[in-house]
Structure 1
Amino acid sequence: MIRRAAVISSLLVASLLSGCMAKESEMLGADISGINHTSAAINRFTVNGAGGPNLGPYGGGGGFVCCGSIPRYWRPGLRAIVEWEKDPNPSPSVPLKRNKYGSIDPKNYKKHAANYTRHSATVEIPQYQKAGPITVHFLPCNQVRVTATVIKPGSPDYPYNYPREMEDTECPKPL
């Protein structure tokens, strides 16, 4: 009887402990970066609500911001919502006025910022074998593409090898 109770209690403890073991998470934290292929500045952007770095004209790729979220395993229909603010004239011919402390004059800034545009797009994320950082490509004609792969831009297997500098007349074909 005592032996039977010991076996039952051992099985009970084992089953309780196995319930506490962590199972593989479906979602992974992922750094967010961007590559701006346009002459505009990307003042700010988000991917599914998680923020990315600001990007100068024809810039980006180096700065990562943590953290977005991406499924460990790709699945058909995987999409991302990208929202961004664009400064179409990041280098005005007449520089923004500054006070004696170097701060931009608020009225002058407000006039410049009135030309900023805001955009939003829902785009598919191409298939990946291993989840990696989330990279947003900002393209002419207010288009974006998103990847989430460990494969680096420039590699033959990278899904979006656009030229680093693209003119606004070079609108990529919609997917």
Structure 2
Amino acid sequence: MNWFEDPRSPRGVVGDLAHMRGTVRVGERLLNTVRSFSRIAGRLWQFFCISGLAISLTACGEDMLPTEITGYNHMTKPDGWSIGGFSVDGHGGANASLAGGAGNSCCMSLPRRWHPGMTVKVEWSYNHRAHDPDTTPPPPQMAMVEVPEYTVKNSGAMQVHFYPNHRVKVVVSKFGIEHMLYPMSEEDKKPWVSRKDWSKDKDDEK
């Protein structure tokens, strides 16, 4: 047997140790190489994320307006359904109880300038009926809804209105439903009503 291979030989032990050190050095080099690639990949990922964000913000600033989503459930007792949840063009909104609001959700984008024929896709589901919580709600609904005219000055949240018989309307406005300048008839606002104690701002009327 060769002395280098003989485990009983001191020189053989020294050879094994040298071989182990060489293996460790190779492993360290490989580890350092992996770390270098990881750092490069991380920097590339940050670059692409920042570039994509910059492009999105630029597009949003030039052509689109960011906006929140909110909703109103106009259905009331005894036969109305609560809204389990909804979305506008795939952007989610919250639930809404009977004669209640859905709160604000973030976010979606709208064209800076309204154009005729503009629509959004509204999807929603029902939760339960007030007087009979055990009744099976209707299936989820979907509707393409026309967006009424708005301007950059008066634009605001995308506000979705749910009515009996699966009817739905949308309004884009910086005002809330109880404001006198909210672009909706008093009939369509029910059960909400405009607050007459809110004075009109001349600048808001323009």
Matched, 1:139 2:163: yes
Judge conservation of contact 1:36–1:139 (CA < 8 Å) in 2. yes
User: How many residues in Structure 1 have an aligned counterpart in Structure 2?
Assistant: 126
User: Where does 1:19-168 land on structure 2 (aligned, <5 Å)?
Assistant: 24-38=61-75, 39-60=80-101, 63-90=103-130, 92=132, 112=134, 114-130=136-152, 131-160=155-184, 161=186, 162-164=189-191
Judge conservation of contact 1:41–1:89 (CA < 8 Å) in 2. yes
Judge conservation of contact 1:26–1:71 (CA < 8 Å) in 2. yes
Q: Which residue of 2 aligns with 1:17?
A: none
Report the TM-score, using the length of structure 2 for normalisation.
0.55
Q: Which residue of 2 aligns with 1:98?
A: none
TM-superposed CA distance for 1:88, in Å, is: 4.3
Distance 2:179 2:100 in 1: 18
Cα RMSD between the aligned structures?
2.3
More helix by share: 2
Judge conservation of contact 1:70–1:148 (CA < 8 Å) in 2. no
1:73-102 deviation digits (Å, cap 9, x = unpaired): 211111111000012425536xxxxxxxxx
Judge conservation of contact 1:88–1:116 (CA < 8 Å) in 2. no
Judge conservation of contact 2:173–2:183 (CA < 8 Å) in 1. no
More strand by share: 1
TM-superposed CA distance for 1:145, in Å, is: 0.4
Distance 1:113 1:89 in 2: 7
Q: Percent same amino acid among aligned pairs?
A: 33
1:6-39 deviation digits (Å, cap 9, x = unpaired): xxxxxxxxxxxxxx9x574211221100000012
Distance 2:175 2:151 in 1: 9
Distance 2:131 2:135 in 1: 12
Report the TM-score, using the length of structure 1 for normalisation.
0.63
Q: Which residue of 2 aligns with 1:5?
A: none
**Larger RCO of the pair (alpha carbons < 8 Å, separation 6+):** 1
